[in-house]
Amino acid sequence: MKSKASAPGKVILFGEHFVVYGIKAILCSINKRVTVTAEKTNGKKISINSKIGKLVLEPNKSISEINSPLKPFYYLANKAIKNEDTGIHIEIDSEIPLGAGLGSSSACCVAGSAAIFKLFRDISKEEILEHAIEAEKTIFKNTSGADCTVCTYGGIMEYDKNNGFKKIEDKPNFQLVIVNSNIEHSTQSMVSKVKEFENKNKEKFSNLSDLESQLVKDVLKLVKENKTKEIGEKMNKNQEYLEILGISNNELTKMIRIGQSSSFGAKITGSGGGGCIFVLTNESNSKNILKKFKDNNYECFSTKIDFKGLNTF
Ligand code: MEV
């Protein structure tokens, strides 16, 4: 028997990094997915196969000894197997660009958690999410949980790490264009960089957190009123705060200025240092924005909000 699940990638619209410190963020999931297929096998091995590589190991290995980006899948399979006399084979198929701040690892953890545990028993979305966050912690121990949460439930949501998520029911009519810097980055090291900033600049960080918190409150009102232009202005403000934290660089700033000059707003999404930016636009202008970035040799695509979240089949 095979068990299959898919989960969407995500964009952090507002509040990345600050969310790690308990400030509310606004996120949405996007229409690019990871699909994970799991099946029981004879012989006690956990084998994982994806475009980025393979991992084949006996169960019950210590996670700290495993040096592979596929270890969240091993963690999940090992937990699900417990003492049962079986192996598991896992196949991963992804349309989300890797390591680009679009939630590919969170979507993997969520779809992996669902596909693997469903081989053994029925499991609720809440429990799938819990295991997914544990699995993500094997590669990024300080995760706020925001990414896995939006990949599980889909749509647009507000999220804070102490109170969880609340779906935003209004369906805004803006469009997003995502542009990839193709600069690799590590979420773990960018989060450590912000921690260093916070340690050295306590008062400045606290002031910025207050500003971000107010900005998110304002945006929640603007989303209800469908005021795209004003939401774009808040994005540009949020980008300024991220630049103060030191997570932008020359290339990202160049991309953002291109986006800001021809749309409502543009900012980094995710941990920064590389990865993607996104541009807020509307249907009539999105082709123009795509052309502008393509003319400058950037990889870009327009995306829609996914309202489905985790899907099992
Ligand atoms: C990464 O996509 C978002 C960060 O805020 C980290 C997190 O929330 O866990 C940088």
Ligand 1 contact, 191 CB (< 6 A) = yes
Predicted pLDDT at 1:
84
Where is pLDDT greater, at 236 or 100? 236
Whether 144 and 103 have beta carbons less than 8 Å apart is answered as: no
How is residue 292 written in tokens? 């502008």
Atom number of ligand 1 nearest to Cα 12: 2
pLDDT by residue (tens digit) across 267-284? 999 999 999 999 999 989
Ligand 1 contact, 266 CB (< 6 A) = no
Q: What's the CA-to-centroid distance between 225 and ligand 1, angstroms? A: 27
What CATH code would you report for 2-169? 3.30.230.10
How is residue 298 written in tokens? 């950037």
What CATH code would you report for 175-304? 3.30.70.890
- Could you tell me the pLDDT band of residue 30, with boundaries at 50, 70 and 90? very high
Question: Judging by DSSP bridges, how do beta strands 46-50 and 87-94 pair with one another?
Answer: parallel
**pLDDT cut 90: percent of the chain above it:** 93
Q: What's the CA-to-centroid distance between 64 and ligand 1, angstroms? A: 22
Predicted pLDDT at 173:
82
Residue 85 annotated in active site: no
Predicted pLDDT at 119:
96
pLDDT by residue (tens digit) across 164-173? 999 999 888 8
Predicted pLDDT at 136:
97
Mean pLDDT of the chain: 96
Q: How far from 5 is each of 9, 176, 290, 310, CA to CA, in Å? A: 14, 26, 31, 7
Q: What's the CA-to-centroid distance between 41 and ligand 1, angstroms? A: 35
Atom number of ligand 1 nearest to Cα 145: 9
Ligand 1 contact, 168 CB (< 6 A) = no
Question: In the chain, where are the structural domains located?
Answer: 2-169, 175-304
User: Which residue, by CA, sits nearest to atom 10 of ligand 1?
Assistant: 271
User: pTM of the prediction?
Assistant: 0.96
State how far the Cα of 138 lies from the Cα of 22, in Å rounded to an integer.
Answer: 21
Residues whose CB falls within 8 Å of the CB of residue 130, separated by 6 or more in sequence, listed in order: none
Q: What's the CA-to-centroid distance between 179 and ligand 1, angstroms? A: 18
**pLDDT cut 70: percent of the chain above it:** 100
State how far the Cα of 80 lies from the Cα of 82, in Å rounded to an integer.
Answer: 6
Decide if pLDDT at 21 tops 90.
yes
Ligand 1 contact, 185 CB (< 6 A) = no
pLDDT by residue (tens digit) across 33-86? 999 999 999 988 999 999 989 999 999 999 999 999 999 999 999 999 988 899
- Could you tell me the pLDDT band of residue 155, with boundaries at 50, 70 and 90? very high
